[in-house]
Amino acid sequence: MLDHDCHPSFGELIDAAPNRLQVPATLLRALSVAERHCQFDQRQSPRIPLMLKGAADVSSTLPAFPRGDIRGRVIVCDASLRGMRFLFDQQLWPGERVRLLLPESQFTGEVARARRLQPHCYEIGVRLDAALSQNLIRQFLSQQRLP
Partner 1 sequence: MNTFGFIPVSVATLYPTDGLSVDLYIRPPGCDEPILYCARTLRVKQADLGRLEDSGVTRLYIRHDERRAYQQFLRQHLDGWLRDPAQPMRARAAMLNEVVRDVLNESFAGGRTESIVDSARELGQRAAELLTSEPVVFQDVVRVLHHDYTTFTHSANVCYYAVLLGAMLEFSQSDLIQIAIGALLHDVGKIDIDERILMKEGPLTELERRQIRKHPTTGFRKLSKRPELSQGQLLMAYQHHERIDGSGYPVGAVGDEIHPWARLCAVVDVYEALTSLRPYRQPLTPTTALSVMSKNGDKQFDQEMFSCWITIATPRSAS
The yes or no reply on residue 24 touching partner 1 (CB under 8 A) is no
Tell me the closest approach of the beta carbon of residue 136 to partner 1, in angstroms.
27
Task: Yes or no: say if 105 and 140 are a contact pair by the CB < 8 Å rule.
Answer: no
User: Which of 13-21, 49-57, 114-122, 126-134 is the region at the interface with partner 1 (rule: CB under 8 A)?
Assistant: 114-122
The number of angstroms, rounded, from the C-alpha of 142 to the middle of its chain's C-alpha atoms is: 17
CA distance 1 to 14: 21
Range in contact with partner 1 (rule: CB under 8 A) among 5-13, 69-77, 98-106, 110-118:
110-118
Tell me how far apart the alpha carbons of residues 49 and 76 are, in angstroms, rounded to a whole number: 9
Beta-strand pair 48-59/70-79: antiparallel
Question: Which residues inside 36-65 make contact with partner 1, applying CB under 8 A?
Answer: 40, 42, 62-65
CB of 66 to partner 1, least distance (A): 9
Q: Interaction with partner 1 in 69-98: which residues (CB under 8 A)?
A: 93-95
